[in-house]
Every structure is written in C-alpha cells, then in structure tokens.
Amino acid sequence: MNLIAIPANDWRKVQREGERTRDAHLIRELSESAQVESLLIVNRPIGLAEMAYRRTWWKSQGTVIHSNGRGHLVQIGPKSFVLDLLDRSILGPIFNGKGHFFDSYGSFALKEAVDWNRIVLGMNDCACVSFTIYAAALFSQMECEVKHFDAWDNFLRFPTNNNILPRLKEAYTTYSRTATSWSTNSEENRAYYDVMLGVPDATVIRNGVRPEAFKQLYSMPADLLDIPRPIVGMGLKVTHLLDVELLNRVMWANPRTSFVLVGQIIDRAVFSRIRKLSNFHYLGDKHYKDYPAYVTNFDACLIPYCLGKQQHGGDAIKFYEYLAANKPIVATPGNGVTDDYEGVWLRTSPSLFGEAVLAALEHGPIARKLPENINWTYKAQQLLDAITSGCRKEDLYVV
C-alpha cells in the first residue's frame, strides 16, 4: 500500500533528536515494511517566529525531489519522503500557542500541498495514518478510503492543555467520525474512547523497544564518569507526570546513592520543585543514538510517576528500554509498567520505594529473554493489520 503518515512529532524534530517517540519508531518500521510501497510523511507547517524560538528550519534534511509554493519534498529513504510547508502566519503562533497547531494543520495550503505531492510521487491510491490530535481537520479532508488514527495518550487529561480543551474535544470528535480504525497504547485509553467518544473497537497496541540498541556494550559517557556509584538513573521527560515529592524524599533518604536524570524539561515548574541535593545530577537531554549508553551504564532505573488523576492511560516506552537493558527497575504502578518481569519492583510510598531502590541495587542486572512481540517491528505489523482491519482486535492486544 501507499501510506501517508502524519507524525505526532514532526520529522525535523526526529532528525534533530533521534527516533525516540512512539510515532517515530513506528513510522521508521512502516518505511521498511514490504507491505508499504511508498510512505509520505506530512510535517506540520511552521513559521518564522517558531523557527526563531526553536532555533530550527522549516525544511527537513534529505534529497530534494520537488520544491515550489506548494511545499518542499525531500526523500529520506528508499521509499520514504517528507513534505514540509512554510507557515506564513505571523501572529497566530504568538497569540494562540498550541491552539495554532490546529489552524496550521487545517490550512488549505497544506491540503493542496499534500494533494500535489501525492501526484508527484504517483501515490494516487493510499491509506492515511495520523499520530497527532492536532491534524484532525487535515485528516478529515484526506481522500483516502482507509484512514487510521493512533490515539496514543489521552491529551484531554494533560493539565497543560486546559486552555485548548474545547478544540481538543472537537478534534477527537472529528477523528471518531472520519477514521475507519483507531489504535491506542493502553486498555485504559481504549475504554475511555469507547465510553466517551463511541469508538468501541480501538486496537490496543502497547509500546515497544528495539532491543539490540540496549543490549550492546557502551563506554561510560563522559558526564557519568565523575558521578559516585551506585547510580540510579531516570531517562524521562520532566512533565506533570513526575512525582517530585516521591523523588525528593527517596533522594533525601539515600544520600550515598546518586540519582541521575537525562531528558527534556517540558514543565520547568515541575523541574524547579526537584530538590537539587548533592546526590541529584541532571545531565540534560540526549540524542537518542547516545541515550542507550546512559541506560546501560546505570546500576538501576526508576519510573517515579504520579498516581491517580494525573495519570493519563499512557504506556512508558522507558520501561521497555530498561527491560531490554537488563536493569533492575523500581517504579510506581500504572503507565504500562508491570511486575510480570523479573527484577521489577512496584511501590507507592516513599519509604517502600526507597527500600526497593536498595533491593534493586543489591539484586543487580537481570538476564531477561524478552518476547518477540515487544519489539517495534512487531508493533508496526500490528499497526498495519489494524489499518487494514486484516485481523481481529483480540489478536492484536499484547500486554
């Protein structure tokens, strides 16, 4: 099949930071699948103000195939292409924030550019898969018989989205009316979409990992060398999901253990609440090609996420990465984390969490043999099956 993919994180960001998100992993696998003849990735248009703020450029890296007022088309693989468009709006991003994302995806210029470049690539008959809630307007206009929405996290439950809730609800409703199939990353989200949006048959496709990337031997990264062992590591984005109180109390109670955090700071208010004790080390964000070297050199790994209303039915990719790296893991319950695997401690209170950290460090590495259905290649095949409705939903659900 020919496939149009609308990523959650545009491919410019993937080229800058590596393929570390669900959509990036799946799109890469789709581009290598024998079932996909051509793959066109449609980026969100960005304008001058955003380029200046993010220190980026509106064109993806690749071999230029076609470029005019309808867009910039580059080839990034044997059968994969990226379409970029310059957003000519100046005030929209400034006054509307993330609300402008809906407008940029819904612009007539983008739809026209997609149609034109489909002709350039000879993609007359194709399916469409969207990984972003913001592209509902574009998705609804796509002239494809098969249209799939991967509704991974539930964006209605992100507190940072409160100011755009009406538009998010409208977008979810649009997808519920126009998508021929849905998928999501957790049973909790599937149930929500069934009850609240009338989507009874969303396929649950859990996240995965590329195991070979986390089973190699890597040299100790330079910024880890001077940090005293034992090192308990966290590879995560700092958002509202991070249980700062839990982390602070565990670090305070274990002064001889180094706690290392690598990842993006999405919510600076949350990061500011982390107590910068002498045993806390923030090493910044890392390109995904460098990230496995950190995980494999941690002595144990943590997922200290909030419980209750702050959860959003997610499925933590880092959990699968930690598993593949054979690390002992201490986590709070939820977000796809399970203690079905050896060397996983699920705890909620700070005292029990701290005790589990010591137990994990004493336990050491675990030689896990992970099932085949945990890798991204398998997940991409699940997605292709869901897109084409080629098999039953219960056959696709893998815990």
Domain locations in the chain as residue ranges: 2-208+376-396, 211-363
Task: Report pTM.
Answer: 0.93
Q: Which residues of 184-214 are buried (b: 16+ CB within 10 A; e: fewer)?
A: bbbbbbbebbeeebebeebbbbbbbbbbebb
Segments of the chain assigned E as strands: 2-6, 38-42, 63-68, 71-75, 80-84, 127-130, 147-150, 181-184, 203-204, 231-235, 258-262, 280-282, 300-303, 329-331, 344-346
CATH entry 3.40.50.2000 includes domain 2-208+376-396:
yes
Q: Which of 91, 134, 129, 87 is nearest to 108 (CA)?
A: 87
Rounded percentage of the chain residues whose pLDDT exceeds 90: 81
Reported as a single tens digit per residue, the pLDDT across 188-221 is 999 999 999 999 889 999 999 999 999 999 999 9
DSSP secondary structure of 138-207:
HHHH---S-EEEE--S-GGG-GGGGGGHHHHHHHHHHHHHH-SEEEES-HHHHHHHHHHH--TT-EE---
Q: How high does pLDDT run on average in the chain?
A: 92
- Residue 61's CB is within 10 A of a number of other CB atoms, namely 12
Is 52 a residue whose pLDDT tops 90?
A: no
Rounded percentage of the chain residues whose pLDDT exceeds 70: 94
Do 2-208+376-396 and 211-363 show the same overall fold? Answer: yes
Distance CA 52, CA 361 (A): 44
Decide the pairing of beta strands 63-68 and 71-75: antiparallel
DSSP secondary structure of 201-242:
T-EE----B-GGGGSS--PPPGGGTTSPSSEEEEE--BSTTB
From the centroid of its chain, how far is CA 112?
Answer: 28
In this predicted structure, what is the pLDDT of residue 44? 94
Adjacency order of strands within the sheet including 329-331? 280-282, 258-262, 231-235, 300-303, 329-331, 344-346
Sequence-distant (≥ 6) Cβ neighbours of residue 20 within 8 angstroms: 288, 291, 317
Reported as a single tens digit per residue, the pLDDT across 327-353 is 999 999 988 899 999 999 999 999 999
| Backbone torsions φ then ψ of 293, nearest 5 degrees | -65, -30
The SS3 call for residue 307 is coil
The Cα-based distances of 198 to 172, 194, 367 in angstroms read 11, 5, 43
In this predicted structure, what is the pLDDT of residue 311? 65
Tokens linked to 215: 């089973």
In this predicted structure, what is the pLDDT of residue 94? 63
Residue 214 identity (one-letter amino acid): F
Topology of domain 211-363, per CATH? Rossmann fold (3.40.50)
In this predicted structure, what is the pLDDT of residue 111? 95
Assign 391 a pLDDT band (cuts: 50, 70, 90). Answer: very low
Reported as a single tens digit per residue, the pLDDT across 186-197 is 999 999 999 999
Adjacency order of strands within the sheet including 147-150? 63-68, 71-75, 80-84, 38-42, 2-6, 127-130, 147-150, 181-184, 203-204
Sequence-distant (≥ 6) Cβ neighbours of residue 232 within 8 angstroms: 257, 258, 259, 260, 298, 299, 300, 301, 302, 330, 357, 360, 361
Is 323 a residue whose pLDDT tops 50?
A: yes
